[in-house]
Amino acid sequence: MPTARYNLLLWISFLGISVAFAFPEQYGDCIKFCNADQVLKSSDLETICIEDKAWNCTYCMYYPKTCPEPVACDYAPPVRTPDGRCIVCPGEECIYNGDAHKVGDTFSSLDNINMCSCNADGRVSCSKYPIPPHRIFCGI
């Protein structure tokens, strides 16, 4: 099989067809994925991405998913968060970006544009306002 691939590359170069391979690159505070690049996904990372359809690129910021130290619960035994990663007091708090938030608290989302709130079921819900152009989003 390697010989067939080598022969194909020889024919492509003989015919004068240029082949470009793109790889993700650092772009300010983001990782830039263009054309056929696959956006990296990980269960250990919070991922915030925006797309620039004109350039066929996606710009992503990654944050580690961490958990604060568990605390003693006042009303019930601790439980795992909905994603199973952290331990919280049921009906009392949520975890977002490694920080514990009380039910009803509002706080800035990772994109620094939207606001999030802690729900009684332990989930975090965030507004969906449009994110600014990629240069501003990535801090360029």
Residues 67-111 have pLDDT tens digits of 998 888 888 899 998 888 899 988 999 999 999 999 999 999 988
pTM over 0.75: no
pLDDT at 18: 41
Does residue 9 lie in a domain region? no
The tally of domains found in the chain comes to 1
Domain span at residue 105? 79-126
Does residue 136 lie in a domain region? no
Contacts of residue 107, Cβ cutoff 8 Å, sequence gap at least 6: 96, 99, 101, 115, 116, 117, 118
Output the domain CATH number for residue 118: 2.10.70
In angstroms, what CA-CA distances link 68 with 9, 12, 101? 52, 54, 10
